[in-house]
Structure 1
Amino acid sequence: MQFFAPLVALVYLVAGAESACTGPNARTTPPPGAIVVDATGAYRGSFKTVSEGVAKLSTATGDSTLFLMPGIYKEKVTVPPLKGKLIVQGYTCDTTSYSANQVTITRAMAQNDIPASITKNRNDYTTTLLLKSSNVKVYNLNVANTAGNVGQAIAMKIDGANYGIYACKLTGYQDTLYANQGPALFAKSYINGAVDFIFGCTRRLGLSHATLVDFQKWHKVFFCTRKCFAQMLKQMKHILVTSVTQT
């Protein structure tokens, strides 16, 4: 009987973990028709990289869903212009909080890593997740540029219209979020950085229940014209801005 005790305990632990990841706020199963990305390849018919999954998105007018299974994906991802709407959903046990996210897209790339011979769209080369398509919703995804204090190094760039970014976590140092176009809403999301870490001056950027962590001072948060800054302030609701000392 003692021999089977550890096995029984393991069964209870697994059952407990599964029950904790159920309910209306859990997203653990890809919806029908979704393109699935799984770094382990365990999910049948899935792709091992996010870029491979993006390459399979429909170029027709129909809507698409990209479902990402748990994992750390070390790559640059570019979503090209699509004719239909796109939903990107990261695996999570709780859609209401970025702290429960289990999917991360990350890499380290800064301006000084790009050859001097490249003179156009240099910011795009540094970007970890580049969204060129319009009508995109992203849920429960961590996006990071880990280049550090070495110059411009963008985690996410939005370069189309109509974005909804929900319970996502964006981390970097300089120019973490490049909001080139819009409108865009970041809800229940986290964005950190130190130098101009939200920039682009879309004039239509909404932050709702968002957490902004500035490693230096408030005036380093936005890099845009005074007129644009005032416009953005009018759209912000319930923003928590935390100033901390970089370690």
Structure 2
Amino acid sequence: MGGKIMISLISLILLVGVIVGIVVIVNKDGNSKDDKSIKVQMKKVHEFCQATEFQDACAKSLQGVAKNESATVQDYIIAAFQNTLDALKKGLNETGKTSVDKKSDPYNYMAVDDCKKLVQFAIEELDDSLNIVAETDTQSLHKYTYDLLNWLSGVYAYQSICIDAIEKPEYKSAIGNGLMNATQLTSNALHIVAEMSSLLKAFNIQIPEDHHDNDSSPHRRLLDFNKVDQDGYPTWFPAADRKLLGKSKEGKGKGGKGGDAGPPLPPVGSGPLTPNAVVAKDGSGKFKTVSDAVKAYPPNHQGRYIIYIKAGVYNEQVLVDKAQPNVFMYGDGAGKTIITCVNSAEFIAKGITFRNTAGPVGEQAVALRISGDKGAVFDCSIEGFQDTLYYQTYRQFYRNCVISGTLDFIFGRGTAVIQNSEIILRRPQRLNSQNTITADGKEQDVGITGVVVQNCKIVAEQSYFADRFKYENYLTRPWKKFSTNIFMENEIGDLIRPEGFMKWPDKDYENTCFIYEYANRGPGANTNRRSKIFKNYKVLSPQEATKYTVGTFLSANEWLPRTSAPFYLGLGGK
């Protein structure tokens, strides 16, 4: 405790020192300024920086705006974002100086090349965030807190992914040092946004309250979202999307656990589901590969780009670029249409198997990776062993899926909810191996990232069932410091050990991570013997669990209806 107090005192001294330096700069012409004005400027810098992790870097980044006596709270936020953006651009330039020989070191060559792309993604996302802040009136800024936290979490994750993927120390160090300032400022920006409402109130900015009698009020819309029609869809669900799902009026089902998703999609060429591209290995479609169909995405395309993939095994890595938003792929059903890996922006998939055949002997073997915001995957099978499903960044929703694997087979740094699906644990490589379902990679103590497994069945693969007690099977382990893993309303099989969770090797993340449970059932759901070393483990109340529902955790009312995926927003759904 004494050490922590000493560190805090040193940080405070550094911050005050920088603030004093700013005041000196303001007064360097020798003209005495009004004491009140100086105190206001110092207060603004202090208010903005006190919640950040890197206070010295924060104060330095605000030097320019602090010289302006008439600067508003919004000016300070813009300055924090702009300086982070400038640091990212400088970091990208430094990253470009790292050269790796492709022939002698193909892995690190690819990792460094990917790193450059990831930093470019981060720049683009931060630039969009800056525009939102600059174009929004000060009183309305708080309304964008969720979106800004979502985007900034992705900006931070891109930088971490970039560095983590590089193996060779000299390359990792060079790029890490080049991005250090940008990473610190991104962390600071996250903390500033997390305190948005408090900052506005601290400077007497009146935040208008929503009027509940106004139909456009977000509060009113959330109330309406719980109303459903006779087919189980919310009353506001667009008619075109009902047809897109192929949900007949006679079908009263709401979509249950894996495999119970209602009638199939209507035939190709009928109604609004006419695809933009048809893929078939036998040549009966316009394209023989999924990649070629994606490449045919027209420039400036408006609306959904629908790709129908006929039954077959497509041994290819499919990449959907950021410039190709709103892609909807569907196949002839899980187990019939099979492809390997997807990295996408605003991606929707239905009735497809994503399979990695590397087997349990390999290391990381991702079957599906999504890094775009607002991804929806339903009625799909995602099959692999270690690291099967990678929810890399941003918001993602999975429904009526079958997800199988061994170690950390649902992992990532985004914000994911897996609802009404079947989670299947498979036989590990060695007898002394462990199975873990989730491994979340949240690194900041603010933000909205994490993974929620809701109303799913957690079971052993049939071929593994007889030997399930010969191995250690856990719900989760923390991949990063503030790893956030929530299991609620699931049916948990007896193969899950009573302690429930395992620690990450050689780390003390069990002291800082968050693991929550709510209303789970089944022989593996007893919480009485859960591991005591996880300091933040908690069994949630219904009110606390609501925070991690689809409606709140994914802010689903703003985007999920457009994906055509069946879902429910709260607790206790079907």
Same fold (TM over 0.5): yes
Could you tell me how far apart the structure 1 residues matched to 2:366 and 2:306 are? Answer: 24
Alignment of 1:16-31 (within 5 A): 24=248, 25-27=263-265, 28-30=267-269, 31=273
Pair 1:75-2:75 in alignment: no
Could you tell me how far apart the structure 1 residues matched to 2:396 and 2:460 are? Answer: 24
Q: Judging changes above 3 Å, is the alpha-carbon distance between structure 1 residues 91 and 82 closer, same or farther for their aligned structure 2 residues?
A: farther
Deviation of 1:232 (Å) = 4.7
Alignment of 1:1-247 (within 5 A): 24=248, 25-27=263-265, 28-30=267-269, 31-43=273-285, 46-62=286-302, 63-92=304-333, 98=334, 101-105=335-339, 128-133=340-345, 135-149=346-360, 150-202=362-414, 204-215=415-426, 220-224=436-440, 232=450, 235-244=452-461, 245=464
What are the superposed Cα offsets for residues 116-172 of structure 1, whole Å, 9 maximum, x if unpaired?
xxxxxxxxxxxx322232x21100000101011211111010111001100000101
Secondary structure of the residue that 2:408 maps to in structure 1? Answer: coil
Contact 1:130 1:159 in 2 (8 A): no
What are the superposed Cα offsets for residues 184-232 of structure 1, whole Å, 9 maximum, x if unpaired?
1110001100011111132x2111111111126996111125889x975
Q: Judging changes above 3 Å, is the alpha-carbon distance between structure 1 residues 207 and 23 closer, same or farther for their aligned structure 2 residues?
A: closer
The RMSD of aligned alpha carbons is: 2.8
Secondary structure of the residue that 1:165 maps to in structure 2? Answer: strand
More strand by proportion, 1 or 2?
A: 1
Deviation of 1:243 (Å) = 3.0
Contact 1:60 1:84 in 2 (8 A): no
Report the equivalent of 2:113.
none
Contact 1:155 1:176 in 2 (8 A): yes
TM norm structure 1: 0.69
Could you tell me how far apart the structure 1 residues matched to 2:341 and 2:292 are? Answer: 14
Could you tell me how far apart the structure 2 residues matched to 1:219 and 1:225 are? Answer: 17
Could you tell me how far apart the structure 2 residues matched to 1:90 and 1:182 are? Answer: 25
Could you tell me how far apart the structure 2 residues matched to 1:23 and 1:207 are? Answer: 22
Q: Judging changes above 3 Å, is the alpha-carbon distance between structure 1 residues 23 and 207 closer, same or farther for their aligned structure 2 residues?
A: closer
TM norm structure 2: 0.31
The percent identity for this pair of structures is 21
Q: Judging changes above 3 Å, is the alpha-carbon distance between structure 1 residues 70 and 240 closer, same or farther for their aligned structure 2 residues?
A: same
Q: Judging changes above 3 Å, is the alpha-carbon distance between structure 1 residues 236 and 224 closer, same or farther for their aligned structure 2 residues?
A: closer
Q: Judging changes above 3 Å, is the alpha-carbon distance between structure 1 residues 238 and 56 closer, same or farther for their aligned structure 2 residues?
A: same
Residue 41 of structure 1 aligns to which amino acid in structure 2?
Answer: G
More helix by proportion, 1 or 2?
A: 2
Deviation of 1:79 (Å) = 1.2
Contact 1:103 1:142 in 2 (8 A): yes
Q: Judging changes above 3 Å, is the alpha-carbon distance between structure 1 residues 88 and 240 closer, same or farther for their aligned structure 2 residues?
A: same
Could you tell me how far apart the structure 2 residues matched to 1:41 and 1:83 are? Answer: 25
Contact 1:170 1:176 in 2 (8 A): yes
Residue 237 of structure 1 aligns to which amino acid in structure 2?
Answer: Q
Residue 158 of structure 1 aligns to which amino acid in structure 2?
Answer: I
Q: How many residues of Structure 1 are paired with residues of Structure 2 in the alignment? A: 191
Q: Which has the larger radius of gyration?
A: 2
Residue 206 of structure 1 aligns to which amino acid in structure 2?
Answer: V
Higher mean C-alpha displacement, 67-76 vs 138-147: 67-76
Contact 2:275 2:307 in 1 (8 A): no
Residue 264 of structure 2 aligns to which amino acid in structure 1?
Answer: A
Residue 102 of structure 1 aligns to which amino acid in structure 2?
Answer: K
Secondary structure of the residue that 1:54 maps to in structure 2? Answer: helix
